[in-house]
């Protein structure tokens, strides 16, 4: 198992800890330093009913996050009704995280998400690991209308 597989597995497992909601996805996130060690982790609604996984992990992170990678079981949000000024994509960019790895793109259930586009426009390397999409979607199946077909290969977006 390579490091990306290891950390994405952890993010997907953390998503399972999210309290069930009919109005928000269950997401897990892990921040890993350039040295390969875990800096922080979080999951949806772990410290309050409105917190997102990436936001929770960032709140727990200490120190310089330059060179860090954030693993998320779902594309980081770009629009947010509860805290419009604190989208996960904007928080990641502000933190200086240079790489984000996701399991799947946020479907247009609650909002149209443009997290990947915002991150790449800011110079963040984004990698999708579709081999984890099914596991990440499973915890959110009650929110998903029609089943979408996952992409079959890993994808990295150009900066």
Contact 22, 143 (CB under 8 A): yes
In the annotation, is 128 catalytic? Answer: no
Which pair of tokens denotes residue 46?
């772990």
The strand order across the sheet containing 69-72 reads 38-43, 28-32, 69-72, 99-102, 125-128, 155-157
Exposure string (b/e) for 138-156, b if CB count within 10 Å is 16 or more?
ebbeebeeeeeebeeeeee
Contact 27, 76 (CB under 8 A): no
* Residue of 54, 75, 106, 128 marked active site: 54
Angle made by CA atoms 104, 120, 154, in degrees to the nearest 5 = 40
Contact 42, 56 (CB under 8 A): yes
Active site residues: 54
């Amino acid at each position: 198992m390579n490091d990306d597989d290891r950390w994405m597995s952890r993010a997907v497992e953390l998503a399972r800890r999210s309290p069930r909601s009919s109005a928000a996805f269950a997401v897990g996130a892990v921040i890993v330093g350039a040295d390969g060690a875990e800096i922080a982790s979080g999951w949806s609604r772990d410290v309050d009913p409105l917190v997102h996984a990436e936001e929770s992990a960032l709140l727990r992170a200490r120190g310089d996050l330059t060179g860090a990678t954030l693993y998320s079981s779902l594309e980081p949000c770009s629009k947010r009704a509860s805290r419009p000024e604190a989208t996960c994509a904007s928080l990641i960019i502000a933190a200086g995280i240079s790489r984000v790895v996701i399991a799947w793109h946020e479907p247009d259930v609650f909002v149209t998400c443009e997290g990947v586009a915002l991150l790449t426009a800011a110079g963040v390397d984004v990698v999708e690991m579709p081999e984890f999409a099914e596991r990440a979607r499973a915890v959110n199946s009650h929110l998903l209308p029609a089943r979408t077909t996952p992409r079959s290969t890993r994808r990295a977006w150009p900066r």
